[in-house]
Amino acid sequence: MSERLPIGGTGSPAAGPVTLEGKDIVLVEDEALIVMDLADEIERAGARVVAECATVDEALGAIATVQFDAAVLDVDLRGRDVFPVADRLIELGKPFLFHTGHATRYDLEGRYPDKPVCAKPVAGEALLRVLAGLVG
């Protein structure tokens, strides 16, 4: 089971910098500033952001066409739940985490009990640690 970072928490700090060297990540987020921050954090950890998606349709298209190791999903994309994307990622066997400021713990634990949740705002290092745990 994946590490679960509870909504509202930042997890426990671990020693040393996080590395995601050589990993390809899909970002699904509709807030441009958050995308820029996340992409910067992910790339500084050695990974590559291979798709930035602001809608459910963009995300479904990206995960069908690009090669990637994991995804970061915002739950509310312009008023639409990201759940069709999460369900497709599960079908594909691709790891992902939720990065949300809107969904309740109950909503996500009930539907996706083994998927990690990072609450906005979460320290970049904490999110990277969870992401690194997903991609090994």
pLDDT tens digits for range 80-121 = 999 999 999 999 999 999 988 876 666 787 889 889 988 887
Ramachandran angles phi, psi of 56, nearest 5°: -60, -45
Number of folded domains that form the chain:
1
In sequence order, which residues have a C-beta less than 8 Å from that of residue 29 and are 6 or more positions away? Answer: 35, 38, 52, 53, 54, 72, 74, 77, 99
Residue 94 domain flag: yes
Domain of 65, in residue numbers: 24-135
Residue 111 domain flag: yes
Residue 86 domain flag: yes
Half-sphere exposure of 69 (CA within 13 A, CB side): 16
Residue 119 domain flag: yes
pTM: 0.85
Q: How far apart are CA 28 and CA 75, in angstroms?
A: 9
pLDDT tens digits for range 10-57 = 344 445 678 899 999 999 999 999 999 999 999 999 999 999 999 999
